[in-house]
Structure 1
Amino acid sequence: MKVLDITKQKFGENAILYSLTNDNGLTMNVTNLGARIVDLIVPINGKERNIVLGFGTEEDYLTKDMYFGATIGRVAGRIKHGSFSIDDQYYQLPVSPENGHTLHGGLNSFEAKIWEVEVEEKNDQIAVHFSYVSPSGENGFPGELKARVTYSFTNNNEWIIDYQAETDQPTLFNPTNHVYFNLTGDMTQAVGEHRLFVASDQFAVVDSDTTVTGELRSVAETPFDFREPKSVNQVFETNYEQNTLVNGLDHPFMLNQTGFERPQAIITSPKQDLSVEMYTDRPAVVIFTAQFGQGGPDVRGQKLVNHGGITLETQIAPGAVEFEGFGDIILYPETTYQSRTIFKIK
């Protein structure tokens, strides 16, 4: 077994692109702009297939969509009205003028930062360590937060994401990765023919602005039941009210189990020649089906079709600062945050 290959090149004015290739010919490209995945290229029947949505330059991300493939933080998802309390101390974050909420930590959060990089090479994997110090008060959050995200790429065709963080004041922390998968490699094909498995008995109901209502609803007898692998079209081709509210999936699914013994979610390509398994220690996954309508960006020379990607955003469920039973995202100085998610290509 050889050491995996890694190269780097300029990706724009400030960003660097790191290219990691394993013994099986899979290539993962990542960048320090937003500690993000740019490409995941898999050889299938002698042809290369890029199975994640991404852009070719730093400028493309800055002008088209900053969330594609990025590390999201300090807090993934929506904080309703941008307000929360820690130990009876009230905080107000900047909110979006469109809906009055704070999304993904607010504007110019983790996804927009140039992260420090350290590369570590081992016999069976390459690790790219991204680090960023978020100053106290950034986007309204208390505490200086030292965040570290490690991407490991292995000869077992695994992309391992390890998150770590420390703070000097009580704050909120609930990161995720905003990777979009399209296992056909064709951005003009919607993901409706993909098959989806999710080990989840319950999902969080959302309102018309996609904030959670506090209700956890059984997936039984709904189009959101993926406890057995089913076509994603079962969501798109229904008038179920939770689908019609957001025109697809933009929902937290509460996972039945966590850990790394068996996958909590699996996406399979329409021809069943490729699948991605998700393993996580987080209690929930937000699944979003890229309902951009006709407003989707060009992706590698192709116009992104509506529902042209699907995310598996592992995290503590949005609503944790509001509702009992949704989890706890408060990070205290005496605690080090750690979590892991693995995507395995098969």
Structure 2
Amino acid sequence: MDTSRRTVLAAAAAAGLTAAGAATSYAAEGGTQGKHPVKELFGTLPDGTKVYRWTLENGGTRLKVLSYGGIVQSLEIPDRHGRYANVCLGFDGLGEYLTATAFFGALIGRYGNRIAGGRFTLDGTAYRLSVNDGPNSLHGGAQGFDKRVWDVEPFTAGGAGVGLVLRYVSADGEMGYPGTLRVRVTYTLTPRGDWRIDYTATTDRATVVNLTNHAYYNLAGEGSGSVLGHELRLAASRYTPADATLIPTGELATVAGTPFDFRRGKPVGQDIRTAHEQLVTAQGYDHNWVLDKGVTVRPEYAATLRDPGSGRTMRIATTEPGVQFYSGNFLDGTLAGPSGRTYRQSDGLCLETQHFPDSPNRPEFPSTVLRPGATYRSVTVHSFSAH
């Protein structure tokens, strides 16, 4: 089998399709062959390591990804009039990504979200993690996957789309986590412009894993101001209330009759100033919603975000049981994006598909334990339209 044929089959498999299925899907959708990913030098780390930017284009969507942190620097989609805008917050240069703690667009691991006290016990052994969020460990610690340089390999695979395969090996003990973890993340733009993320990981020792992407979205365009007028729908009838340090209390509370009810969709800002204890504690929304579908083998519907002004709409499907909706509460005007405008509170929001925060300390939550011989798998698909 020639190399190009192997590439097509590998990309089709990553997208959950057979080669024949990919070709059929491609023809049915009327897609066109995506442009081959373009690589350019983005910057250099203090130790001399080069950081590259890859540009992907397919189905009317443009995606720019850095080898540093697997960061999505830019996501461009059209509005109802066909006008493009970058709808992800980020920076123009590498320097800001090295110093900022906002996790703009980054791949998050080894454990997305918070672990209480930066510690957990697995199989009778206690582990202490890097603490970087008050008393807690957040997003894998001070030097999580967002601060690592990933190996990146592009692919162009016809009906299966165009994309990047990102690989990283996390050493045993890195940030306190046990086991050597081999991670592979695939970013794919499909012929109809969907952005699909496939995560896989294996370990040589029992560990915990929770991978996600930390893009901040503003569907009106980066630097355009507040997202409080965006309409959000979440397919979740419960959420996990949190304590003063944003660690889940263990309760799965109903959203009915609370500001946390997004089941029918509503503007993000409609209830955000309500004097609800949870909103006061987090200074807005920064909570895990328990998706009604639970853990699924294939991606199922989780959320819809729409900007009424531009008509841009993003629909999210995932295999994960939860989504962290963060309303950009701690953006304080100290960071500026490519537009040259500063980011203030609620100028972007995150919808991080995930297992629940602090699951290693909550046996009643869906497990995040990965053992040797097993493979961690997670898929999230972002679909775009404008109306």
Name the TM-score class by shorter chain.
over 0.9
Q: Answer yes or no: is the 8 Å Cα contact 1:187–1:305 preserved in 2.
A: no
Aligned-partner Cα distance in 2 for 1:313–1:295: 23
Please tell me whether residue 4 in structure 1 is matched to residue 34 in structure 2. Answer: yes
The partner residue of 1:277 within 303, 311, 315 is 315
Aligned-partner Cα distance in 1 for 2:102–2:332: 18
Letter in 1 for 2:343: L
Residue equivalent to 1:254: 290
Cα offset, 1:38, TM superposition: 1.0
Cα offset, 1:43, TM superposition: 2.5
Please tell me whether residue 237 in structure 1 is matched to residue 273 in structure 2. Answer: yes
Residue equivalent to 2:5: none
Aligned-partner Cα distance in 2 for 1:154–1:126: 7
Aligned with 1:60: secondary structure?
A: helix
Aligned-partner Cα distance in 1 for 2:331–2:177: 33
Residue equivalent to 2:332: 294
The partner residue of 1:332 within 331, 347, 371 is 371
Aligned with 2:275: secondary structure?
A: coil
Residue equivalent to 1:314: 353
Aligned-partner Cα distance in 1 for 2:366–2:312: 33
Letter in 1 for 2:157: K
Residue equivalent to 2:103: 67
Please tell me whether residue 265 in structure 1 is matched to residue 303 in structure 2. Answer: yes
Q: Deviations over 1:218-275 (max 9, x none)?
A: 0000011000010111232311111111111110000011555752100000326110
- Count of aligned residue pairs for this structure pair: 344
Runs of 4+ in structure 1 displaced over 6 angstroms?
none
Q: Answer yes or no: is the 8 Å Cα contact 1:50–1:185 preserved in 2.
A: yes
Residue equivalent to 1:200: 236
Cα–Cα, structure 1 residues 235 and 208, in superposed 2: closer, same or farther, change >3 Å? farther
The normalised TM-score by structure 1 is 0.95
Residue equivalent to 1:32: 67
Residue equivalent to 1:110: 145
Aligned-partner Cα distance in 1 for 2:271–2:90: 25
Q: Answer yes or no: is the 8 Å Cα contact 1:235–1:248 preserved in 2.
A: no
The partner residue of 1:170 within 200, 206, 214 is 206
Letter in 1 for 2:318: T
Cα offset, 1:156, TM superposition: 1.3
Root-mean-square deviation over aligned CA pairs? 1.6
Letter in 1 for 2:156: E
Cα offset, 1:90, TM superposition: 1.1
Unaligned runs of 5+ in 2: 1-30, 45-49
Letter in 2 for 1:312: L
Please tell me whether residue 99 in structure 1 is matched to residue 162 in structure 2. Answer: no
Cα offset, 1:3, TM superposition: 2.4
Cα offset, 1:46, TM superposition: 4.1
Counterparts of residues 113-262 of structure 1 (less than 5 Å):
113-124=148-159, 125-257=161-293
Aligned with 2:380: secondary structure?
A: strand
